[in-house]
Amino acid sequence: MGTNTVSKKLTAVFSENAREIVVLAALFFAGLAVGTAVSLKMSEAQSEAVAEYMECFFSAYTLQGADRGGVCMASVLNNIRCLLIMCIPLLSAWLIPFLAAQIALKGFKIGFSVGFLTAAYGIFGASVGFFSLFWQILFTLPALVLCGAKIMNFSFRLGGRIRGLSRFKNIGSEVYINLIFALISAVFVILAGGIFDGYAATAITLSLCGISEV
């Protein structure tokens, strides 16, 4: 029963917000492409500076051990902050660029990180980049995109209602329920992602790098 309810809710989100999902997905891939391009066009001095930072980062793990709780908390807080900024358009449709920027920025960060690691360390770097961002790529980002699409749709409806447009005159309770469901689902995915990043992803990354924990 619970599974059927979740499936119906997800289907409703997809069907009612198809255009918004396409727009946000396009923004993500645009950010991904720009981030990758920037990482590949870095000067030798810039690449060496970032590589040195990465070496120091992994050296700290080797000397001090991985702070799994810290990684978990950082992941959760970062994504919760992103979700809160994405909720700004609930005040006005004019504020939707804040939401769009967050999705594009997520794409940029992933593109830059994986692009740089791949350029610097080849297949090994690509593997480290993928596994360290596994949950973010496969779960957190889709959840944020779906939630963002729902926020955009709600913002447009609310704006139309304020302007007195007849087709937006009545906002049914189901619209509010779907929005709340999307937000709660995103929070649960973010919390699960924090646990994965802090424990599973950290262990996989350290293993790939040949770093034994103290």
Q: Is the Cα torsion angle 209, 29, 7, 10 positive or negative in sign?
A: positive
pLDDT tens digits along 137-196 = 889 999 999 999 999 988 888 766 555 444 555 566 777 787 888 899 999 999 998 888
Kindly provide the b/e burial profile for residues 164-188, where b requires at least 16 CB atoms within 10 angstroms of the residue's own CB: eeeeeeeeeeebeebbebbbebbbe
Quick check: is 10 in a domain? Answer: no
Distance CA 111, CA 128 (A): 13
Write the CB contacts of 192 (distance below 8 Å, at least 6 apart in sequence).
135, 139
What share of the chain has pLDDT > 70, as a percent? Answer: 71
Contacts of 128 (CB under 8 A, 6+ apart): 117, 121, 205, 208, 209
Taking the C-alpha atoms of residue 52 and residue 204, their distance in angstroms, rounded to an integer, is 22
73-104 residue pLDDT tens: 888 999 999 999 999 999 888 999 999 999 99
For residue 108, the enclosing domain spans 17-208
In-domain check, residue 63: yes
Residue 139 lies in a domain: yes
For residues 101-118, give the mean pLDDT: 90
Is residue 6 a part of any domain in this protein? Answer: no
**1 is a domain residue:** no
Q: Is residue 11 part of a domain?
A: no
In a domain, residue 4? The reply is no
Number of domains making up the chain: 1
Q: Kindly state whether residue 173 falls inside one of the protein's structural domains.
A: yes
State pLDDT tens for residues 23-64: 999 999 999 999 999 988 876 666 666 666 566 555 555 444
The residue behind tokens 């289907």 is 11
